[in-house]
Copies of this chain bind each other. A is one copy, B any other.
């Protein structure tokens, strides 16, 4: 049985010397993954004394076909009727369409929006958040500037002046929503205690979380794997079989690792063995939306554009792999690294229909070059 507010206050003061639970969480975002994150978090805040029961969830307000507001519908039904229907979020999840109001009492902010909206949201939050607030980003994507990539966690830290961890992993939202066993990885910069608090907040018996001191490595895994998923989807769409798919996924993982280490010397090889690395890559290449749309693209022989297929297949969800492939391509061409990253390069050139889908396995010469990145010379 969950403890009462009084019991929690007591436990909290016992465990941290002040009255009332010290940590209050707001989830900034309410899409498919954001709603599942709110559900995970809410199941822990009612149990753990250090957290306030209530979890605020900022909702980008929409009007539903029946004329009702999305936030109102969520609070009435305790379900995100548009992005996660049929799943109860927990009575302690409160949808709030007012961003400023949603964050004003929180000192733990969970960012989980499409990556292209983060800068705008942070701009609106400047000066509106409590001191000593901690953030975590569940957002896969990056902002690319001429000088190189700017990770979402860095963008949040730079714009709001707060520390930001990341959480990534093999996390197909709809499967976690129905409590299938899975794992995730938290990347933290310095403070291991903060990482542990975030892990407490997300961990459930069916969702195991571990932490590594490698923010950029974890975050780049979550971003770059979507490009590999496009490649895997193309292989599926051409019925090339499991060997080819596994080979393309492996080459993709190698390029993820090589590029991450070239961009940030602090990135650790071991991070790619965590859930955020190999497991997320596998999940995304088996069942993710990038894979699905890329498969359809290949089955259409590249005749219909990704935008076209995205609109048809994803009911308003965003496809990140194509834009990430473009951003990665900009980094590679800016630094003259294309020949070292044949898979990343080829995916973008297929996406913009400069190359046919079949080109995904037609870069032997480039593979040879890329392999040099790891100092293993192939013999073909």
Contacts and interface: CB of A to CB of B under 8 A. Distances in A.
A248 to B, nearest CB: 8
B246 A279 contact: yes
Interface in A163-208: 170-172, 175-176, 180-183, 196, 199-200, 203-205, 207-208
How many copies of this chain does the complex contain?
2
Contacts of A243: 170-172, 175-176, 180-182, 283
B378 A247 contact: no
Interface stretch (A62-70, A101-109, A209-217, A335-343): A209-217
Contacts of A183: 247, 250-251
Contacts of A367: 208
Interface stretch (A85-93, A128-136, A138-146, A270-278): A270-278
A379 B247 CA distance: 33
Contacts of A379: 196, 199-200, 203, 209-211
B361 A181 contact: yes
Contacts of A175: 241-244
A247 B250 CA distance: 17
A117 B356 CA distance: 47
Nearest to A380: B203
A376 interface: yes
A219 interface: no
A170 B250 CA distance: 10
A360 to B, nearest CB: 9
Contact of A210 (B249, B275, B376): B376
A287 interface: yes
Contacts of A171: 243
Contacts of A203: 378-380
Contacts of A176: 243
A238 to B, nearest CB: 10
A254 interface: yes
Interface in A227-284: 240-247, 249-251, 253-254, 257, 269-270, 272-275, 278-280, 282-283
B210 A371 contact: yes
A364 B254 contact: no
Closest 3 CB pairs of A and B: A199-B379, A182-B243, A250-B279
Given A172-B242, A180-B244, A250-B282, 19 more contacts: A170-B242, A171-B243, A172-B241, A172-B243, A181-B240, A181-B243, A181-B244, A183-B250, A183-B251, A199-B380, A203-B379, A208-B380, A211-B376, A242-B282, A250-B278, A250-B279, A253-B273, A269-B269, A286-B286
29 contacts: A171-B243, A172-B241, A175-B243, A176-B243, A181-B244, A181-B247, A182-B243, A182-B244, A182-B246, A183-B247, A199-B378, A203-B379, A205-B364, A208-B364, A209-B378, A211-B379, A241-B287, A242-B286, A242-B287, A245-B283, A245-B286, A246-B283, A246-B286, A249-B279, A250-B278, A250-B282, A269-B270, A270-B374, A273-B374
